[in-house]
């Protein structure tokens, strides 16, 4: 039995502690920038449509280049790629600060910024997933995968946006400058870590060949591809629309003030942080696939509350339940990826998962908005929460998909077989 909390044990290891520290600072900067950039786009264009284009400009290259990013991650040191990503994003945010201070910022420059930022995000996400098992003991992987969303929810979704709103009201250049500084600090923490080697690979392999190999691995690994495809539905038609339809519901159905939208986001951030703190100290379950989908199914079905919600306190049950349940499931999934997938394929497998699970989200957002406009927000969430939970229920009862956990459930039987 572990004598100390997993988070405390994790902090005793130098490399994970440096990575966590750097990412915590960076998450705070992301939270500041989330509000600051939103207000900057609105102040520059005075258009909600322009804000939508700005968000799409960042998300689209992130999705499109994920497969290339995964191939790059499996060719070079993951630590060096993270440093490069942080430095590049520091330069980009620094350039925005200069343009603001010289009164020469235009909307097209913000679009270029968003596109380039999204490209480096496409490298960052698979790189940090692939680096984690290189520096963290296997028994502490669940704790590490929980600490990351813990800092993201606490600093990136709660404290950072609050500070970002205050700073942006005082000075746009100052708020963006804070984000720039956090990237520098994150890169410094990564630079202080020990060097990590390049992944083992065939030197004659081409980039296209590497991407194909990653795709082949994912789609011949039953538990991996079924999870990624099923998660796509939940992400596209329940979770992503939540961030648009809940604010709309609060404002236009319940006729509440604007600050209630912020309170709803904060509620999700607080419960997400608490959930991450709890799961960081839980052992990995024996039935990983089933437990993972139990959590995600609860998250999807929590949208049913929108069918009868008549006040703010009933509405926030939805985001307040979704946030920790998603984190509980994600920690199990990421830990499985890091222990079941060969190290030399981890970057590509991670990028394929990100590509599949997020690829339909922009389309889902448009579809959800149109359907909700036609049948109403209440009916939309009731119908689609039930539809999207069906694949997860199938995965939970499938013996073939759950076979990956057979040895954990009954080691003796697995050996005899």
pLDDT, residue 1, reads 40
Q: Measure Cα distances from 287 to 181, 223, 231, 265, 407 in Å.
A: 42, 12, 18, 32, 10
Q: Which CATH class is domain 207-417?
A: mainly alpha
Q: Measure Cα distances from 230 to 27, 234, 248 in Å.
A: 28, 7, 27
pLDDT, residue 379, reads 93
State if pTM tops 0.85. Answer: no
Is residue 346 scored above 90 in pLDDT?
no
* Alpha-carbon gap, residue 49 to 392, rounded angstroms: 35
147 confidence band (pLDDT: 50, 70, 90): confident
pLDDT, residue 259, reads 63
Mean pLDDT of 53-75: 82
275 exposure class (CB count in 10 Å sphere: 0-12, 13-18, 19+): buried
List, in sequence order, the alpha helices (H) in 65-106. Answer: 66-73, 78-101
pLDDT, residue 179, reads 94
Interval 13-29: pLDDT, tens: 899 999 999 999 999 99
Is residue 362 scored above 80 in pLDDT?
no
pLDDT, residue 284, reads 84
Is residue 416 scored above 70 in pLDDT?
no
Mean pLDDT of 238-260: 78
Q: By mean pLDDT, which of 207-211, 246-250, 316-320 is the weakest?
A: 246-250
* Alpha-carbon gap, residue 365 to 239, rounded angstroms: 9
pLDDT, residue 169, reads 76
pLDDT, residue 52, reads 62
Q: Tell me the fold of 1-194.
A: Growth Hormone; Chain: A; (1.20.1250)
**Sequence ranges of the chain with CATH classification 1.20.1250.20:** 1-194, 207-417
Is residue 48 scored above 80 in pLDDT?
no
125: left (phi over 0), alpha (psi -120 to 50) or beta: alpha
What's the angle, vertex CA 254, arms to CA 250 and CA 259, rounded to 5?
Answer: 45
Mean pLDDT of 87-107: 93
Is residue 328 scored above 50 in pLDDT?
yes
């Amino acid at each position: 039995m572990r004598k100390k909390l997993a988070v405390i044990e994790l902090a005793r290891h130098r490399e994970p502690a440096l990575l966590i520290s750097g990412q915590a600072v960076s998450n705070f900067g992301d939270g500041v920038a989330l509000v600051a950039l939103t207000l900057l786009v609105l102040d520059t264009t005075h258009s909600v449509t322009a804000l939508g284009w700005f968000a799409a400009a960042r998300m689209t290259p992130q999705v499109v280049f994920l497969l290339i990013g995964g191939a790059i991650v499996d060719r070079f040191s993951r630590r060096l790629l993270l440093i490069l990503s942080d430095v590049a994003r520091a330069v980009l945010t620094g350039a925005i600060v200069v343009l603001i201070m010289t009164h020469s910022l235009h909307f097209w420059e913000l679009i270029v910024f968003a596109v380039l930022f999204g490209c480096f995000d496409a490298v960052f996400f698979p790189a940090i997933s692939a680096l984690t098992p290189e520096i963290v003991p296997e028994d502490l992987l669940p704790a590490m995968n929980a600490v990351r969303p813990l800092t993201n929810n606490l600093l990136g979704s709660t404290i950072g946006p609050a500070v970002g709103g205050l700073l942006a009201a005082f000075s746009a250049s100052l708020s963006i400058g804070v984000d720039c500084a956090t990237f520098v600090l994150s890169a410094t923490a990564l630079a202080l870590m020990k060097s990590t080697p390049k992944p083992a690979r065939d030197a004659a392999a081409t980039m296209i060949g590497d991407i194909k190999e990653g795709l082949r691995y994912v789609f011949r690994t039953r538990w991996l591809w079924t999870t990624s495809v099923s998660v796509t539905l939940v992400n596209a038609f329940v979770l992503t629309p939540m961030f648009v339809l809940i604010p709309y519901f609060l404002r236009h159905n319940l006729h509440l003030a604007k600050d209630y939208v912020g309170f709803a986001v904060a509620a999700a951030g607080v419960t997400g942080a608490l959930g991450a703190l709890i799961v960081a100290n839980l052992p990995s379950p024996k039935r990983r696939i089933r437990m993972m989908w139990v959590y995600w199914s609860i998250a999807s079905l929590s949208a049913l509350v929108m069918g009868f919600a008549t006040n703010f306190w009933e509405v926030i049950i939805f985001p307040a339940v979704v946030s920790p349940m998603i984190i509980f499931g994600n920690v199990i999934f990421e830990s499985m990826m890091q222990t079941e997938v060969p190290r030399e394929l981890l970057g590509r497998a991670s990028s394929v998962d990100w590509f599949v699970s997020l690829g339909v989200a922009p389309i889902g957002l448009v579809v959800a908005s149109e359907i909700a406009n036609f049948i109403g927000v209440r009916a939309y969430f009731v119908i689609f929460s039930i539809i999207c939970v069906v694949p997860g229920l199938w995965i939970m009862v499938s013996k073939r998909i759950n076979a990956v956990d057979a040895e954990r459930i009954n080691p003796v039987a697995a050996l005899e077989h």
